[in-house]
Structure 1
Amino acid sequence: MTEERVKAYEELKNSPFLLIPDWKLPFKLYIDACGEGLGAALHQTQIINDKPVEGPICLISRQIKQKEARYGASQMECLCLVWALEKLHYHLDGTVFDVITYCNAVNSFLNMKNTHKNMLRWQIAIQEYRGNMTIVHKFGNIHKHLDGLSRWALANTPENPAWVPQEEHHIEGICVTNIGKEFLNQVVESYKMDKNCHILCQILMTDCKDPSLSSKLDEI
């Protein structure tokens, strides 16, 4: 066997591999976001060949949606956390885990006050993990594999298990009707003739200052 083949064989043995989750052990959730996409990696440290080895269990990514492109860096990182928890809920529900991030804003996310409405909604969405989740702020090269996930994220399409549907608000139809003046007058007069509507209009016009009007309405 040539030296080149031996080297290739050794590299193959050391290539990354996915671990089978051990529900008795804690997890580590790495998250990263950028202007192109979101990435998350679920890791766990297990004993392999009598040595502790940290390896990935699941890797997910998706490109950001059109409206998310307007988010700032801190908001994007918090979005990434919420998205990752939603997509990896099956693994993380009821378990103890650390969230590893380089963004300090995520570290205080759960306790933010006077936040944007999106942030407030996200805070509520992840309350179930409070107590089991510890957010750890770390710098350095530990996020290298996340850079690849977020910067070359999978398309946000149904073929991607981690996709999120785009919010679409379609106008189903517009109907414009010209109401004849004679018919409109009939509608107005019919409201005046109706005892209930007549009393309600009086209450609204007098700002409910006359208690006798309200008593009349109760008797109807």
Structure 2
Amino acid sequence: MLEQGIIENSVSNFNSPMFLVPKSSGEWRPVVDFRALNKITVPPRRFIKDYASIASPLTSLLKKDVPFQWSETRQKSFCDFKHALTSAPVLAYPDYSKPYILNTDASYSGLGAVLMQEHQGKNRPIAYASRTLNKAENNYAVTEIEALAVVWTLKKFKYIIYGYPVEIHTDHKPLLHLFKDLSGRMARWLLTVQDYMPTFTYIKGKANVAADALSRNCALTCAVSTETPTFDTLTHTDIFKAQRDDPMWSKVISYLETGNDLDLPHVPSLSHYVLQDDILYKATTLTGKYEPSRLIHQLVIPQTLVPSVLKLTHDTSHASRQRENTFTGETQICLAYNEERHKQSY
């Protein structure tokens, strides 16, 4: 093809493999390798009508000993793919009664993610996101940019997913155990991730092609094993013991476990308290401006754990100041704590 003048060597900044073909005017134009396009179109193929018919003119180019010849039919197929990937029914509206699945990926070209939900046994895309790395981020280690992809994507889709169950799928296995014993930048990112309380699932790289493609082309903008990261600042055992050692909350717990109301102190809205995994929570209604009201469970913090909670939430760059826990005299204690910290800084 080089000898015949059909193509010529090209050095391009595009991430996808490409070559040049002549236009009728005699000029040259780039053609993106269909194999790169195929990686993007295969994941949502079940939502693209007549996928095989659209792809046929392009897939025929991949057959052995078939000479490359661009035609109006193949150009139409390429344009039909672009239209299908950006038109309904590929993207779906979020269903707030279902958990979310967030596929993330990162490369030194950029970050990419796909937000999905299960619909009739299939994962349906809700939104895509991608961006390039800045100069400082290009110096991050591989695991750090993978973590950055998670943090950035959670913030990107916060208006959709905040307060709802989120399962993060990543093909970078170290992320499953990353959020432990951290400091500096990673510790700050941990606080953001904790705000969403997600679970992490490892998926093989070949099953994460959509997010991978977005992470590598953002300039143009199976069997799984599941693990949940543990955040060791306050363990389940710490909270379990502190609640049962507390003079008031221990009696509330005893009442919920046995029904014995002897010596039960007066607790406003007692019927709102529940036990989950032997831990005391208070059921309350969370309201938002752009989403329906929903019931959530707030962790009950005993007085002995208040200093630890305050240190965690006030001495670090917490991603959100929204109420996550509840304890007696919370507002007054927080004000006193901030005043004391202010005095110590001088």
- Normalised by the shorter chain, which TM-score bucket? 0.5 to 0.7
Matched, 1:139 2:204: yes
Shift of 1:39: 0.4
Q: Distance in 2 between matches of 1:9 and 1:139?
A: 25
Kept in 2, the 8 Å contact 1:38–1:153? The answer is yes
1:41 maps to a residue whose letter is V
Which residue is 1:123 aligned to? Answer: 190
Q: Distance in 2 between matches of 1:139 and 1:8?
A: 28
Q: Distance in 1 between matches of 2:54 and 2:165?
A: 38
Which residue, out of 205, 213, 218, partners 1:153?
Answer: 218
Matches within 5 A, 1:39-118: 39-47=112-120, 52-110=121-179, 112-113=180-181, 115-118=182-185
Q: Distance in 2 between matches of 1:99 and 1:65?
A: 24
Question: How big is each residue's C-alpha offset from its partner over 1:63-89, in whole Å with a ceiling of 9 and x where there is no partner?
Answer: 001000000110110111000000100
Question: How big is each residue's C-alpha offset from its partner over 1:71-125, in whole Å with a ceiling of 9 and x where there is no partner?
Answer: 0110110111000000100111111121000112211233x11x34110111112
Closer, same or farther: CA 8–92 of 1 in aligned 2, 3 Å? same
Matched, 1:38 2:38: no
Unmatched segments (≥5 aa) in structure 1: 1-5, 157-220
Q: Distance in 2 between matches of 1:140 and 1:75?
A: 17
Report the secondary structure of 1:91's partner residue.
Answer: helix
Shift of 1:140: 4.1
Report the secondary structure of 1:60's partner residue.
Answer: strand
- Flag as ranges the 4+ runs of structure 1 deviating above 2 A: 6-13
Percent identity between the two aligned chains? 27
Q: Distance in 2 between matches of 1:150 and 1:71?
A: 15
Q: Distance in 2 between matches of 1:128 and 1:120?
A: 13
Mark the structure with the bigger radius of gyration. 1
Which residue, out of 28, 53, 61, partners 1:7?
Answer: 53
Q: Distance in 2 between matches of 1:136 and 1:18?
A: 23
Kept in 2, the 8 Å contact 1:30–1:99? The answer is yes
Report the secondary structure of 2:218's partner residue.
Answer: coil
Kept in 1, the 8 Å contact 2:98–2:117? The answer is yes
1:104 maps to a residue whose letter is K
Q: TM-score, structure 2 length as denominator?
A: 0.38
Kept in 2, the 8 Å contact 1:62–1:155? The answer is no
Shift of 1:146: 1.4
Shift of 1:53: 2.5
Unmatched segments (≥5 aa) in structure 2: 1-51, 57-76, 222-346
Q: Distance in 2 between matches of 1:35 and 1:118?
A: 18
Closer, same or farther: CA 140–80 of 1 in aligned 2, 3 Å? closer
1:33 maps to a residue whose letter is A
Shift of 1:141: 2.0
Report the secondary structure of 1:129's partner residue.
Answer: coil
**Aligned residues: CA RMSD:** 2.6
